[in-house]
Amino acid sequence: MTLKDKTNLTRTFICIDFSDEITKEIARIPPLLDKKFVGKFTELENLHLTLKFLGEISLEQINKVKTLLSNISFTNFQAHLEVLGTFSIKGHPKILWIKIAGRQIYDLQKQIDESLMQLFPKEERFMSHLTIARIKHIKDKVDFDHTLKNITVKKIMFYCNFSSISALMPSLKQSSTNFNASSIVPTPDP
């Protein structure tokens, strides 16, 4: 692959975006964990549930993805925020997340996987979660764990429909596309 080929690639993933109500609940959490760790909270406008990460792909691949995803069908479904948790490496938390509960999310992710299996490998272990922070270092693990255990996430219900599924394609000040029943259709930057 030449340098020119690499510059024509777009980081792409298929995801569910969240309503203002969900974003407001998530925005309540960072101040509760302020100064408990060194790292970075996810910007509120970037919150999403990744259903499938596609990586850096070409416009040709994006067009193939659009065609393949146009065959997916699912009924609107309900999901909700559940609990806070962390992904750890060797006992050191690295990702702070909120679980998104709803059986149909797993069904939808499986459909996406199956639709794209000729282009991308199957997800080995999908977990329905929303990353809210990346952790470099925890200052006091006992205090962090205690604080985390005492934060209650409101179990806000929300509906997933085709207008809430997106394929985001960031590149500097990003472009994005919305996934609808028939295809992925580009939309202008906000």
CATH number at residue 136: 3.90.1140.10
Provide the pLDDT confidence category of residue 63 given band limits of 50, 70 and 90: confident
Contact between residue 97 and residue 130 where contact means Cβ atoms under 8 Å apart: yes
Kindly state whether residue 89 falls inside one of the protein's structural domains. Answer: yes
Q: Structural domain of residue 45, as residue ranges? A: 12-169
Please give the average per-residue pLDDT across 62-70, as a whole number: 86
Catalytic site positions: 48, 129
- Tally of structural domains, the chain: 1
Kindly state whether residue 184 falls inside one of the protein's structural domains. Answer: no
Provide the pLDDT confidence category of residue 5 given band limits of 50, 70 and 90: low
Kindly state whether residue 7 falls inside one of the protein's structural domains. Answer: no
Each residue of 100-126: pLDDT tens digit?
A: 999 999 999 999 999 999 999 998 889
The answer to whether residue 175 scores a pLDDT higher than 50 is no
Q: Which residue has the higher pLDDT, 107 or 164?
A: 107
Each residue of 28-39: pLDDT tens digit?
A: 999 999 899 999
Distance, CA of 5 to CA of 9 (rounded, Å):
7
Kindly state whether residue 4 falls inside one of the protein's structural domains. Answer: no
Name the nearest CA neighbour of 19 among 94, 93, 130: 130
